[in-house]
Amino acid sequence: MSITMSQFLKSHGLQRNPFIEEEAQNDKVFEDLVNESGYAFNHQAWDKFFGDPPGRGTSMIFGVKGSGKSALRLALEKNIAHFNREHPEHILLINYDDFNAFLEAFKRRGDQDRKRGETAITLKDFGLAQHLDAILVCGMEALLDELKDGNIDLDRLEHYQRHDLMMLMAFYVSGPPDRYNRIMESMGRRLLPRGFFKRLGRGIKGIIVALLSLGIVPLACRSFYAGVARSAEREILVRCRNAQDIKRALRLIPSGYLKDQDVRRRGWRDDDDVRRLFVTKFIDIMLALGYQQIVVVMDKVDEPSLINGDRERMEAFVWPLWNNRILQLHPNLSFKMLLPRQLYEAVRKAGSEKANEARFDKQKIIYPFRWGDKQLYDMMSDRLRICRDDPSQPYPLQNLFDEAMSTREILTALDRLRQPRFVLNYLYRLIAETCAHTDRANDGPVLIQHDIFYQITATIGEDIKQYYQTLGESPE
């Protein structure tokens, strides 16, 4: 009778299976290793990607699926969280990776334009302005999370910054209307409080002005707020928000401030300069609140349903954000882009005009993002060690294999696999096949035999080839 997986693990003193997870997001073993290492990541690209303090400096990583990009990102997130616990000047992390909501809202607006007989917008029209709108939506959510956790003292804001923040929140807070209205009412009380006598004075003044102007001034004021709200509803395409709700939120802000922002007009739908101003306002607000760095992490650009891993669509989607005027907009704003390997071809073959706009020479580009056989061997050995009864003692990967097998043979197999995801799957298969062909005969560790090693190893080349053919890319 064959042994079970748990019997194999127990024979090596393992409390859990080190190779069962292939996705970093759910990988508790990886999380434990990152925590143990002081929130670092064991790869030669780490320092170039990481920055000092954590997240400082724009960098782009181009890697195939399964190469460890998500693991790198999780290590950065943990490092920033640890940094924020230890330092008074925090780092704000903005995750820009859930694109479906933005793209679907953008597509709905295109469908509405088509029904009205206007020129319909497409994915190629999703430009820099839309990216910055989406990032500001994510930025508002990150700020609200910090408020909820008690990390923000709004009293540190200057009067004009309170108006800036209220306007940005009115434009970019996401979620259903009831949530939006609740947040805006609460933020209005916190950012722009009005005492009783001040409210009374404004009320008396309003009555006098209304009587003198026979209602013309109040009507013009309501019309102005309604116009700004309609403009925001019309020009910001990545989120759906009713103009009435926006108007209710904007009425908390003095009209004179809004007039200076020039946001009632038509035509700022694709105005990059307006968005750069908004982003700069957001940065200044966060600096005033005690944050020293804002880090935007862009990931999973291949996953949205409107892109679905298509290289040309990915390129059309990402290119507008490869703009040096944004990537180097402010020393306290940085971007960390974890991108599919196929997009590196767009960088390599960029014409002079696009290359000059992106200034890739100023961005820290990491390509290729790959692993050596020894690195993979050490990574798997660490996973074994952290899962054992006594994680303080080393447990080399070689210990899983028959003594007749050399480390060189194992390294050769790992070199063919190249990516952590493939290695994890490969080792899991080796153990499963060993369990299926092993009868428990002694109390020593159950070892992977030569014949099983060669049997599984012989199939990995074809498996990898089929995997990448499915993705429409090359493992090289």
pLDDT tens digits, residue range 439-448? 876 778 999 9
What are the tokens at 287? 């600096």
Query: pLDDT by residue (tens digit) across 204-232?
Result: 555 555 555 555 556 678 889 999 999 99
Direct distance between the N- and C-terminal alpha carbons of the chain, in angstroms, rounded to an integer = 42
CA distances from 403 to 132, 207, 400, 430 (A): 57, 93, 9, 16
Residue pair 183/144 in contact (Cβ under 8 Å)? The answer is yes
Contacts of 49 (CB under 8 A, 6+ apart): 59, 61, 72, 76, 336, 364, 366
Give domain limits for the chain. Answer: 5-22+371-471, 56-366
Question: How many angstroms separate the CA atoms of 126 and 121, rounded?
Answer: 8
339, β-bridge pairs: 62
CA distances from 364 to 56, 157, 172, 344, 394 (A): 11, 34, 30, 13, 35
What are the tokens at 449? 């035999």
The pLDDT confidence band at residue 2, using thresholds 50, 70 and 90, is confident
The pLDDT confidence band at residue 198, using thresholds 50, 70 and 90, is very low
Give phi and psi for 364, each to the nearest 5: -85, 105
Is residue 378 exposed (0-12), middle (13-18) or buried (19+ Cβ within 10 Å)?
Answer: middle
- Mean pLDDT across the chain: 89
Q: Is 310 helix (H, G, I), strand (E, B) or coil?
A: coil
Return the pLDDT at 205: 53
Return the pLDDT at 382: 96
Query: pLDDT by residue (tens digit) across 121-169?
Result: 778 889 999 999 999 999 999 999 999 998 899 999 999 999 999 999 9
Percentage of residues in the chain with pLDDT exceeding 70? Answer: 90
The pLDDT confidence band at residue 464, using thresholds 50, 70 and 90, is confident
Question: How many angstroms separate the CA atoms of 428 and 422, rounded?
Answer: 10
Closest to 377 measured CA to CA, from 355, 391, 394: 394
Query: pLDDT by residue (tens digit) across 28-55?
Result: 999 999 999 888 787 888 889 988 888 9
91-178-166 Cα angle (round to 5): 45
Return the pLDDT at 123: 81
Query: pLDDT by residue (tens digit) across 389-407?
Result: 999 999 999 999 999 999 9
Closest to 90 measured CA to CA, from 131, 150, 137: 150
How many CB atoms within 10 Å of residue 102? 23
Return the pLDDT at 196: 39
Instruction: Tokens 């607000």: give the residue.
Output: 285
The pLDDT confidence band at residue 243, using thresholds 50, 70 and 90, is very high
Sign of the torsion formed by the C-alpha atoms of 367, 370, 372 and 375:
positive
Question: How many angstroms separate the CA atoms of 155 and 277, rounded?
Answer: 23
Return the pLDDT at 443: 79
Q: Are strands 59-63 and 90-96 parallel, antiparallel or unpaired?
A: unpaired
What are the tokens at 13? 């003193």
The pLDDT confidence band at residue 408, using thresholds 50, 70 and 90, is very high
In the 8-state DSSP scheme, what is residue 360?
A: G
